[in-house]
């Protein structure tokens, strides 16, 4: 992903008016068209599965998201090494994700096809989807990319800028949260359908070319009807990107509020009700070119991005050699994962 930047990209996303001063090194805060009213709640739950009901209210179902389990899934990916397309570590990660989703979901749909990168490389992109309750018509699409950037080109040390990124946060964290959700849903089926899509070839992009990012998601978005049927139409999607770092803050991302403001409000309200308002802030976030833009514009599925944005940039380790497991805080994984568990089981 990168910050939305060029006039062409701004025209491509429904001609949204973005500050011309926004560039790839800064995030400009944008006043949101939709005001989010978020009610904070200080209580957190500790039971594995429970239901609570206030007077006159529908019972709320609580299924515990286990942060230590998610952290183990994150570590397993990092133990493989940087999952750069075309490497043994990448192949190992494809097999790992496929195995976990095969264990915990009702059906797995895979997609493999060549994609061409901005620098003329031909990669075979592998997208992997696990489906819970595939016959349900009400569906939520969860997605994350699992590939790592081939170059740590934002590292402060020029000697390290051609090294691959480990991607503990920028890749493994989103996958880890979704895998833990798959695990808990295998034991506690929700009432709705859930599609968990792990996409490839997201991070082999050029900062001056927005279309060079999210190649795996572009592949999926253009062919998802052929893969899943002409009637496939998720109610909405949620992208998880950089959701594990210490000190993370998730502001409503700009394009998310333009395409799916109601879903942003639903997710942020759920986070506050679950006691995670310190992570999910109501400050206006910047505009990020990420997989969710492709899901909105090509697949025509309303989709939001839960992404760590801080002031005028992402977390400090973004596209550097510092994006390692040392930057990860299980409390951040918990905040995102429990929010999504609450949403899934009470939607």
CA atoms within 13 A on the CB side of 58: 5
pLDDT value of residue 255: 95
The mean pLDDT value for 57-67 works out to 87
- This prediction has a pTM of 0.87
CA 87 vs CA 82, 128, 193: distances in Å: 8, 18, 33
pLDDT value of residue 285: 82
In the predicted structure, residue 191 carries a pLDDT above the cut 80: yes
pLDDT value of residue 58: 65
50 falls in which pLDDT band (50, 70, 90)? low
| Percent of the chain whose predicted confidence (pLDDT) is above 70 | 83
Which residues constitute the domain of residue 164?
2-345
In the predicted structure, residue 312 carries a pLDDT above the cut 80: no
The 10s digit of each residue's pLDDT in 204-244 is 999 999 999 999 999 999 999 999 999 999 999 999 999 99
In the predicted structure, residue 38 carries a pLDDT above the cut 70: no
How many structural domains does the chain have?
1
Q: What is the CATH number of the domain that holds 189?
A: 3.40.630.10
Angle, in degrees to the nearest 10, between helices 88-104 and 67-79: 150
Q: What is the DSSP string of 108-161?
A: EEEEEEEEE-TTS-EEEEEEEEEEESTT-SSEEEEEEE----S--TT-SSGGGT
Task: For residue 82, give the DSSP letter.
Answer: -
Lowest model confidence (mean pLDDT) among 50-64, 152-166, 215-229: 50-64
In the predicted structure, residue 46 carries a pLDDT above the cut 70: no
């Amino acid at each position: 992903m990168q910050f939305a930047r060029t006039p062409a990209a701004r025209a491509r996303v429904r001609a949204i008016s973005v500050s011309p001063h926004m560039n790839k090194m800064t995030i400009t805060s944008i006043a949101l068209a939709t005001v989010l009213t978020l009610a904070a709640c200080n209580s957190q739950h500790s039971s594995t599965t429970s239901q609570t009901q206030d007077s006159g209210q529908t019972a709320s179902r609580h299924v515990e998201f286990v942060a230590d389990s998610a952290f183990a899934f994150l570590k397993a990916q990092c133990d493989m090494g940087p999952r750069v397309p075309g490497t043994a570590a990448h192949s190992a990660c494809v097999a790992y994700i496929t195995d976990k989703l095969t264990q915990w979901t009702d059906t797995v749909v895979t997609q493999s096809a060549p994609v061409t990168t901005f620098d003329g490389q031909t990669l075979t992109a592998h997208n992997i989807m696990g489906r819970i309750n595939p016959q349900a018509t009400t569906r939520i699409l969860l997605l994350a990319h699992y590939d790592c950037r081939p170059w740590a080109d934002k590292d402060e040390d020029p000697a390290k800028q051609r090294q691959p990124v480990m991607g503990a946060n920028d890749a493994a964290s989103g996958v880890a949260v979704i895998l833990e959700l798959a695990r808990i849903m295998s034991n506690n089926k929700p009432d709705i359908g859930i599609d968990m899509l792990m996409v490839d070839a997201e991070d082999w992009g050029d900062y001056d070319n927005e279309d060079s990012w999210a190649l795996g998601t572009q592949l999926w978005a253009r062919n998802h009807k052929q893969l899943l049927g002409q009637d496939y139409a998720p109610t909405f999607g949620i992208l998880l990107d950089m959701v594990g770092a210490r000190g993370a803050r998730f502001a409503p991302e700009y394009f998310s509020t333009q395409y799916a403001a109601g879903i942003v409000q639903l997710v942020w309200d759920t986070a506050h009700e679950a006691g995670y308002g310190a992570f999910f802030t109501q400050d206006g976030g910047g505009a990020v070119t990420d997989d969710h833009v492709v899901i909105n514009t090509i697949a025509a599925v309303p989709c939001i991005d839960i992404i760590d944005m801080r002031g005028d940039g992402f977390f400090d380790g973004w596209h550097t050699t510092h994006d390692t497991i040392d930057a990860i805080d299980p409390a951040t994984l918990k905040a995102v994962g429990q929010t999504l568990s609450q949403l899934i089981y009470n939607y």
